[in-house]
Amino acid sequence: MNIGYPVGATRLDPDELEGLKFKHVTTRGQLDHLEQANIQEGLVWLRRYKSTDILNEGFVRELHKRLFGDVWVWAGTFRNTEKNIGIDPMQIGVQLRLLLDDTRFWVGNGTYEPLGAAVRFHHRLVYIHLFANGNGRHARIMADAILMKILKQEPVNWAGGYNLQAMNGRRKQYLQALRAADGGDIEPLMRFVSPD
Ligand SMILES: Nc1ncnc2c1ncn2[C@@H]1O[C@H](COP(=O)(O)OP(=O)(O)OP(=O)(O)O)[C@@H](O)[C@H]1O
Ligand SMILES: [Mg+2]
């Protein structure tokens, strides 16, 4: 299979590609399509999920499985390979726990306004990079779930009318803002998600 990767995407290793449940896929377009259909079903599941108890490892993994589990056998399972993005795979469980603890604290204490908490959560989740693939989409949906279910806010308009999966000005801005956040400056990402 020849799947080209958009800039700022994770590359899969041969073992991970083995985990593709549809053996007939030959192009990136076909793969995107299958993933998109799966994500739609995952979003239906998420809408019906009434509990606000989502800041725990079980939910974070379950959500990834609901979004990608029809396509990838390893959906919902932490990666065990090094990637061009993300921390040492051995540290994923511990770092996720710290992030979830911090986020519960922010939410409980109103440390940041809702969007500020969701955006910081989003950045740290993609920075950890829990899974072999699907981290961007999963972490955007997870941030929206925090906003809607816990904080009773509107979701973020991530794509802003563009396709964030494809390379365009909007994705370029998004990746630049994430890199600024890697360096400790959250403001560009705040501007990115703030309605103008
Ligand atoms: N420098 C960076 N720092 C933190 N996160 C990053 C950085 N560069 C990219 N990312 C995140 O990693 C994501 C890509 O990872 P991955 O391919 O696993 O996600 P995806 O859901 O398949 O991709 P996409 O976001 O294109 O839908 C990007 O969308 C972004 O959220
Ligand atoms: Mg990807």
Per-residue model confidence (pLDDT) at position 119: 98
Mutating to test ligand 1, I would choose from 85, 99, 133, 162 the residue with most ligand atoms within 8 A of its C-beta, which is 85
What domains sit in the chain, N to C, each tagged with a CATH number?
A: 14-156 (1.10.3290.10)
In one-letter notation, the amino acid at residue 24 is: H
Task: Evaluate: CB of 176 within 6 angstroms of ligand 1.
Answer: no
What HEC string does 93-109 produce? HHHHHHHHHHHHHHHHH
Per-residue model confidence (pLDDT) at position 56: 98
Per-residue model confidence (pLDDT) at position 2: 64
Nearest ligand to the CA of 4 is 2
Count Cβ atoms below 10 Å from residue 194 Cβ, excluding itself. 11
Ligand 1 atom closest to the Cα of residue 179 is: 1
Which pLDDT tens digits describe the chain residue by residue (196 residues)? 667 788 888 778 888 888 999 988 888 888 999 999 999 999 999 999 999 999 999 999 999 999 999 999 999 999 999 999 999 999 999 999 999 999 999 999 999 999 999 999 999 999 999 999 999 999 999 999 999 999 999 999 998 877 887 778 999 999 999 999 999 999 999 999 998 7
Task: Evaluate: CB of 8 within 6 angstroms of ligand 1.
Answer: yes
pTM of the complete model: 0.95
Buried b (16+ CB within 10 A) or exposed e, 159-193: eeeeebbeeeebbebbbebbebbeeeebeebbebb
Between the CA of 88 and the centroid of ligand 2 the distance, in Å, is 18
Task: Evaluate: CB of 103 within 6 angstroms of ligand 1.
Answer: no
Question: For atom 13 of ligand 1, which residue has the closest CA?
Answer: 136
Sign of the CA dihedral running 81, 85, 91, 93: negative
Ligand 1 atom closest to the Cα of residue 126 is: 5
How far apart CA 26 and CA 69 sit, in angstroms, is 19
